[in-house]
Each structure stands twice: as structure tokens, then as C-alpha cells.
Structure 1
């Protein structure tokens, strides 16, 4: 349900913008509102599950996510939708960390690999089906259905979890979770996000933007101070003592920022500049998903065999190549000659990058911090996407109703892809300079928790 939601909403953004008379900033908030609470509260969600019961927190998260999906569908203004999306992200932060932890705790060691494999296959299938399903729902009916599709899925999950999933918790978890740290990081990310998105319309020197920026800096700084002092921090800063772990997370930050920009703007560009229907734009991105499904496991095996340095350098370079090809796409270009080559190169780069990042991250972390390391990497990835959606339209000069103006959208999309390509190249440099080939050789197979990254 979580994977499906992230893929169907992007395709529906132009329709949401038209129906709710939203500006580019409104579309940004539709995504960043969700990513804000998800990335900020992800670590707290895992800590709550360890302390109070993973099934309990998972069920609460699914119920919350399902109920707020109805609120999203019922929104009649962009402000109502953004508020519902912020609330929806809270539910996602509660249900996401517990899914794999419940699988690991609920299956015998001999069955665990098959359970994780089924989880991965279902995640891949929903990711593949998301864009065309979202496009079909928008074309056949209207955009609220991309949120209402979560309701029957959520109800089935709730019944199955209550009846068939055993409760589990971490017996070593003691004391109250670090709620103060969660509030500080949420305030910090919210302030920075507001300042970045609203600066073009309100002015960078306006009081609301300056106050939000200051609150963001104070919140994030306060979070780091608190994490150094509390007994059970959400983010044990000691995990960054590993140079390799720090390098992998820096790589994750820049690569997922690049990906966030592409995933936000591509469907909008295909519909607004090239005239694709929502369904056609959903099917247009299937080459990316096909590359992921067919090649991700092979890329992980390749990194295990030769070391992660070459795949993690080559993958971002291919991503950059795909993004540069996207800068050549113009209104009137055919799909086969203009769009498809860029998406295939991009998909190859994505497949070569994602699995090796996950494996390398888990191998670089201290085994005692494996769960925390996975949560940190997941939060870094979501935070990077959040910042990309907030920053890239500003850098590209997209504002107001530009997503409905083909030439303005094309120019802005090309600029955004150039910036994203630059980020991907920075990722390749980080991988070449900071990742050691002997990581996977020395630590062996990645742990199941890594799949959340």
C-alpha cells in the first residue's frame, strides 16, 4: 500500500492541480507534506514498535494511513489535501518500519528468506503497477480514486494483521522514545521546506519565509544537540563514526535527491508539455520499472562479486546520462525516439545503483546497529526526495501555473534535469572516492532489514 501510494500520486498531480486550481507550489506541497512527516518520524515509528509492540504500531499505522487516504480523496481545496497528506505521512511512518521487522520476527529462520522474497516481489509489482493504475483511475474516473484505492487494501491488511501476525517487540528497549528529538527534526524539516517552497511567491526576504527558515535551522541544530545527550536517541550519532557508512549515506542523499526531482517532474512534463494522458504517462515509465525488476537482483549479485565501488560509480553516471537525454525531449517528439532512450538509460542506472547502495550500507554499519542503520538510510532517502521536490522547481524557475504552459514547463524541466544530472555525477564521485570494495567481501550478505532502504 505504501509503495503503491507513492507511485500513483505523481501521475495524478496535473489533474489535482487543475481540479483544485493549485499552483506549482501546491503540487510541491502535495508531495512534500507527505514526505515531511514520513522522513521526520520514520525513526520514531521504529522505536515505538520496538518499545510498545511492532504489530500494535503497524496496525495503528495502517488504520491511520487508510483513514487519512479518505481525507485526501475528500479534499476540496489544495490546503485540505496538503493537510491530509501530512497526516497520511504520519501513518506511513508508523507502518513502514514494522513491516520487515514483523516478517523477521514471525517466521522461522528457514522460512524467512522466502517471506522477505515475497515482500520484495510484491513491492516490485506494486511499484510497476502504480503509474499505469494511477493513470487509469484518473482517466476513467477522477484523481480521488488514487487515494481511495488504499481503503480496501488497508482493510484487508488490518484483518490479516490482527488475525495472523504475532506480536513482537525488542526486550532491550527501555524508557520513553525520543519524542523531543522527533519534534525538533519535524520542526526543522518543516521550516526549511516552507522557506524553500514559499520564497518565490512571498519573496526570500519576507517575514514568513525568514521566520520559517530560522525555525528550520534552530530545529535541526537542536535535534543534533539533543541526540548527543539523550540516553536513547532516535539517531545515535555514533553510527557515523564509520567513514564508509557516512559515505554511503552521502551517496544516498545526492542520488535520491536526483531521483526525487525526476519522479516529481517527469509525469507532470509528459502530460503538460507532451500532451500525454494520465494513462499514457503511466505506461510511458514502465521501462524504468522493467529495468528495476529484471536487473536489480543481478546488480546486487554483481556488487557482491566484484565489490560495490564500480557499480555505485557506474550507476549514478548512467542516471546522469538518462537525465541529460531528458533535456533533449521537446514537445512533438515521438515516444520511441525522444522519451524511450532516456528512460531506458535512466532505468539501467537506477537498477545498478539501488541494490548495491542497500547492501553496502548494511555492510558498512556496525552489526549491533543494523536496524538503526537501515532506518537512518531510509530517512536520508526520503529526506533527500523531500528537499529535491522543494528546491528543484525553484531552481528551474517553475511557479504559478507553469505546469499547464508547455514551453515554460519544458524549459523548467530541462533545467531541473541538468541539476539532477549534476547531483548524480556528485554521487558517482562520492562512490569512487569513499566506498571500499572489500565491504561486502568482509561482511557477507546484507541483512533483511536493508530492504527498507
Structure 2
């Protein structure tokens, strides 16, 4: 549910634009207001779970998400919708990392790879089918019901979670409040400047100030985390992890992949309606050659990943994604037939499945076991952040070269933006080449780095359950 809401609004954006009088900036924030707090607070949510109880924080996040969904459905203006989406994002950040923690705790070690593969595939599928489900609901009822459908799911899941989930926490978990504040302010400043840049001028004082202040905030976060580690404390994200080649590579890969893919889907889902005249449901159905591929490929890719390792699948998936997006960018025109998009849709869909299935297992496998939770949390956070940046950057390219004035203008902006998305995914492929091959042992990065210790089980048995989820 929380992964679905990343892109479930994309096919509803034309209707939201009409009903609430939103411009491009408002539509960007309809998506980014969800993904930005989601990305920034993922590590925080999992750290709170370790300290206050994972089941308690998971169910609290689910309640916040459900309340935010109801508020989004009732939103009378684009500003109210953006605020409600931000509440959803906060709740999602407390839910998603703890699903991985709770799953890893419940599954025996010998079945953990398969379980994490299923988790990754379901997460990827939820992201992929978002445009279809959003289109079907928007046309069948109204765009508000995209959010209403979350409410009964949340209300049913809460009592089930209270009954079925076991409580656990970590004995030494501490929340890095300063780190949370610095990274939150830094990322918000950068994204806020990127979203407003085209409309207000890239050299305008508010935009430049926002981007520069955001960059300073991110730099201050890195400096603070290094200081905490040197003092023997528990940083939210140990910077020493990035000295592990595989850890740096898998996170750069996730960030760049999400930039290219999310930003492209944001524009292409609108193009099917604004340019080619399809209804929301028709647009969603026509994305099926793209979005249905994870459903078809994931059951095959999971066992293959267990046999040959995740790296070959990641490389193949990223290559196919880059080819598919480049193909789309090259053939897009305002008078083309839908059939011209089927081929690149299928290729990109297969590539998406091959990426999502093994990425969680790869992220956990490149670090020592006691730090696998940190690896998982960082990878999820950077993947969400990549989506935020992708929508902001590709929308800026779109606004600079085109707009909503006519179908031809929309294509003029979408074509270079999608090609930039293809370049981002190609850069992700280059990053993934640095991943260690199957059989390589996880690298120890510093001997004096404190490992997460858990009250409910020894640290050596922990997978995906550290202070980062």
C-alpha cells in the first residue's frame, strides 16, 4: 500500500489539475510531498522502531498513513492535498522499513533470501501498477477514491497487526535527532529549489538560496555523522559504510535508477492522456506492457537470482531499462500510434522486474551481517530520494522545453526529459558494474565501528533489523 502510493496519482494528475486548478509545480508537489518525507524519515522511522518497539511504531505509522489518506481524499485545494500527501509520507516512512525488519525476524535464515526477494518484487510491482490502479479508480469513481481505498485497508490491518505481530526492540538504539534535522532540512532545500527553479528563474534569490542552503545542510549532515562516529556514538548512517565499494555502488545504482524511472513515468503517464486523448483507465491499461512485466518476470527472476546471484540480474535489468527509455524518447511524437510504444514498454518492464527482485538481497549482501539493516534502510531511502529528484529534474527539463499548452508542446518537453531519464539509468548501470561478484565476502569497514545490538536476539543473527530497518 505505501509503495503503491508513490505513483498511484500519476494517471489522476490531469483530473487533479482541472479540479483543483493546479499548475506543473503543484502537480510535482502532489507526488514529491509524499516521496520526500518518505525518503528522509525512513531511517528515523526504523530507529524509532528499535527504540520504542517495532510493532508499536509500525502500527503507529500505519495509523498516520491511513489518516493522511482520508485527509487527501477530502482535500478542497491543491495546498490541502499536498499537506495530506506529506502526512501520508511520514506514515509510510514508519511502515516500510519495519516491514522488512519484521519479515526478516519471522523467516528462518535459510529462507530469508527468498522472502526478501518476494518483498522486493511486491514493492516493485506496487510501484509499477500504480498508474493502472490510479487510472481505473479515477475513471470508475473519482480521483479522491485513490486515497479512500487506503482507509479500509489500514483499518483492517491495524487489529490484525496487534494480534499477529510480535513486539521487539533494540537495547542500545538511540535516535540521532541532530542528524535527522540536518538531512531533512538539506534535502527539502534542494528539492524545493529544483521544483521552483523553472517557474521562478534558476538565478532568482529564493531558488539559489534554497539549493545552496540545502547543499550546506547535506554537507553538515555528513560532517555530523562523522563526528558522532569518532566520538563513539551511534550515527544514523555511518559514513564509513560508503568506504565499502559494494555499498556505495548499490546505493548509487538505486538513486540513479529511481531518478530515471520515476521521472519518466511521471511525464509519460500524463502524455497518454494530454497528448493522445486516452481516458485515465485507457491510459492505465496501455501501460500494462510496461507495468505488468514485474508480475510475469518476478516469479522466474527470484529463483534465478538465488542460483546465480543478484548482480547479473541487476546489470541486465538496468541495461534493458536504459534501452527502453531511450527508445521511448526517440520515437515520441504528437502524431505517433500507440503501437510504437509497446516495444519499449515491454523492454522497460522486463528491466524493472529484473532490478526490483534482487536489489534488496544485493543491498544486504555487500556489508557484514550486523550492518545489514543499515544497508537496507539506506538503500530504500536513496531509492525514494531518487524518485523525488527525478521528478524535480525531469519536470524542470520538461518545463524548459515544452508545457501544457498543446499536445506538440507537451511532447517537446517530454522527449528530452525521457532521454535524460535514460541517461540516468545508463549511469546506474555503470555504478552497478562495481558491485562484487557472487561469492565475494562482505567487507569489514572499520574495526571500531559499533554494531547494532538487539535485545531480542544476538547481533550475529540479525538481518535487516538494525537501527535503520
Instruction: Answer yes or no: same fold by TM over 0.5.
Output: yes
Distance 1:237 1:312 in 2: 25
Distance 1:186 1:99 in 2: 22
Relative to structure 1, is the Cα distance of residues 370 and 353 closer, same or farther in structure 2, using a 3 angstrom cutoff? Answer: same
Note the alpha carbon deviations across 1:398-431, whole angstroms, 9 max, x for none.
599x246311111111111111111122222223
In structure 2, what is the equivalent of residue 167 of structure 1? Answer: 167
In structure 1, what is the equivalent of residue 202 of structure 2? Answer: 204
Alignment of structure 1 residues 23-422 onto 2, 5 Å: 23-106=23-106, 123=123, 126=126, 130-171=130-171, 173-174=172-173, 176-230=174-228, 231-306=233-308, 308-327=310-329, 328-335=331-338, 337-397=339-399, 402-403=403-404, 405-422=406-423
Relative to structure 1, is the Cα distance of residues 123 and 255 closer, same or farther in structure 2, using a 3 angstrom cutoff? Answer: closer
1:53 shift after superposition: 0.2
Contact preservation (8 Å) 2:322, 2:425: yes
Distance 1:65 1:416 in 2: 31
Distance 1:321 1:104 in 2: 35
Partner secondary structure for residue 331 of structure 1? coil
In structure 1, what is the equivalent of residue 457 of structure 2? Answer: none
Contact preservation (8 Å) 1:272, 1:406: yes
Alignment of structure 1 residues 436-451 onto 2, 5 Å: 436-439=436-439, 442=441, 449=464
Partner secondary structure for residue 278 of structure 2? coil
Contact preservation (8 Å) 1:25, 1:399: no
1:125 shift after superposition: 6.4
1:168 shift after superposition: 1.2
Relative to structure 1, is the Cα distance of residues 339 and 136 closer, same or farther in structure 2, using a 3 angstrom cutoff? Answer: same
1:314 shift after superposition: 3.0
Say whether residues 1:430 and 2:428 are aligned partners.
no
Contact preservation (8 Å) 2:129, 2:291: no
1:249 shift after superposition: 1.4
Note the alpha carbon deviations across 1:176-220, whole angstroms, 9 max, x for none.
401211111111111111111111121223232122123202211
Distance 1:124 1:312 in 2: 13
Relative to structure 1, is the Cα distance of residues 317 and 115 closer, same or farther in structure 2, using a 3 angstrom cutoff? Answer: closer
Relative to structure 1, is the Cα distance of residues 404 and 133 closer, same or farther in structure 2, using a 3 angstrom cutoff? Answer: farther
Partner secondary structure for residue 436 of structure 2? coil
1:355 shift after superposition: 2.7
Distance 1:263 1:315 in 2: 17
Relative to structure 1, is the Cα distance of residues 88 and 442 closer, same or farther in structure 2, using a 3 angstrom cutoff? Answer: same
Contact preservation (8 Å) 1:191, 1:212: yes
Distance 2:118 2:211 in 1: 43
Contact preservation (8 Å) 1:69, 1:88: yes
Relative to structure 1, is the Cα distance of residues 407 and 79 closer, same or farther in structure 2, using a 3 angstrom cutoff? Answer: same
Distance 1:255 1:27 in 2: 22
Contact preservation (8 Å) 2:72, 2:81: yes
Q: Which runs of 5+ in 1 are unaligned?
A: none
**What's the TM-score, normalizing by structure 2?**
0.87
Relative to structure 1, is the Cα distance of residues 126 and 309 closer, same or farther in structure 2, using a 3 angstrom cutoff? Answer: closer
1:332 shift after superposition: 4.0
Distance 1:223 1:352 in 2: 33
Instruction: Pick which of 320-329 and 294-303 moved more.
Output: 294-303
Contact preservation (8 Å) 1:315, 1:350: yes
Distance 2:421 2:113 in 1: 36
Distance 2:6 2:303 in 1: 27
Contact preservation (8 Å) 1:362, 1:370: yes
Higher helix residue share? 1
1:245 shift after superposition: 1.4
**What's the TM-score, normalizing by structure 1?**
0.90
1:303 shift after superposition: 4.7
Distance 2:168 2:46 in 1: 12
Distance 1:344 1:418 in 2: 17
> What is the total number of aligned residue pairs between the two structures?
443
Contact preservation (8 Å) 1:24, 1:398: no
